[in-house]
Amino acid sequence: MPAGPRVGQVGIAENLAEVRRRVDEACVAAGRDPSQVRLLPVSKTKPPSAIREAYDAGVRLFGENKVQEAVAKAEVFADVPDLRWAVIGHLQTNKARQVAAVADEFHALDSLRVAEALNRRLHMLDRTLDVFVQVNSSGEESKFGLAPEDVPGFARELEQFQTLRVRGLMTLAVFSDDAALVGACFARMRELQARLQDSHDHPEWWRELSMGMSGDYELAISYGATTVRVGQAIFGNRLDPNDYWPVSAR
């Protein structure tokens, strides 16, 4: 799908409408209710003006890869009470306090050390955090996430962290134009979700699958995705260094 215009040109609202239309069509094609799939616009590297355009078009939850950037943008929009943030990138333990303070969702939990750090900070702040367990569905060494076979044991350990509300699983599929290879990653996630729902003491933890991005979200929907994380198809290609904001948060 064409990524759309760069930030600074008219088009974010139109791009959102087009992505939402395609999400709905993918749901219908898969025999699913469109209300079962949530669109998470990913605003990483984009300036506040782009977020404001998307907000004006109805977006209330934005995804950010880098913690520093999420914190900086949360400060810019501190006077907008219904705007929320999802951190979707890998997290180092020393950044847990920042995520605990600003994020409503964390889509990349794959470490007990991070879970412990988040839980401790959230207790201090009297907050809870929705989390998705990240799974390396492609088996690529370059990707973060747990191996599928390690998820059940990890899930049992998460029961001790009362401030973390497990919502489901998250993955990044292999980056490929081969739909069969990408679909195999999504199929592994669907199978893992089913196993966890059948065997875990908290089957409600595994209702959601956060998977699918600008290039493969329609395919992900056909495999059961409940959240699709879409950036470039909404906000445009990241071609100009001036599009990146803020430099200190990169």
Sheet holding 61-64, edge to edge: 38-41, 227-230, 208-210, 164-171, 129-135, 105-109, 84-87, 61-64
Burial state string for 200-222 with b = 16 or more CB within 10 A and e = fewer than 16 = beeeebbebbbbbbbbbbbbbbb
State the residue for tokens 């979200």. 217
Which residue type occupies 36? Q
State the residue for tokens 């401030």. 163
Q: Quote the CA–CA distance of 129 and 115 in Å, as a whole number.
A: 11
- pTM > 0.85: yes
CA distances from 239 to 198, 216, 244, 249 (A): 45, 21, 9, 18
pLDDT for the residue 6 = 41
**From first to last of its 250 residues, what are the pLDDT tens digits of the chain?**
333 334 444 499 999 999 999 999 999 999 999 999 999 999 999 999 999 999 999 999 999 999 999 999 999 999 999 999 999 999 999 999 999 999 999 999 999 999 999 999 999 999 999 999 999 999 999 999 999 999 999 999 999 999 999 999 999 999 999 999 999 999 999 999 999 999 888 999 999 999 999 999 999 999 999 999 999 999 987 655 556 666 554 4
- Count CB neighbours of 182 within 10 A: 23
Q: Quote the CA–CA distance of 161 and 101 in Å, as a whole number.
A: 17
pLDDT for the residue 238 = 66
Helix, strand or coil, per DSSP, at residue 27? helix
Sequence-separated contacts (24+) of 240-245 with Cβ below 8 Å: 240/6, 243/6, 243/7, 243/8, 243/45, 243/46, 243/47, 244/45, 245/45, 245/46, 245/47, 245/48, 245/69
User: CB–CB of 73/48 below 8 Å?
Assistant: yes
Strands 38-41 and 227-230: parallel
Environment class of 105 (CB within 10 Å of its CB; exposed 0-12, middle 13-18, buried 19+): buried
Residue 200 in tokens: 């875990």
pLDDT for the residue 35 = 96
Environment class of 241 (CB within 10 Å of its CB; exposed 0-12, middle 13-18, buried 19+): exposed
Q: Report CA 226 to chain centroid distance, whole Å.
A: 11
The CATH classification number of 12-237 equals: 3.20.20.10
pLDDT for the residue 200 = 82
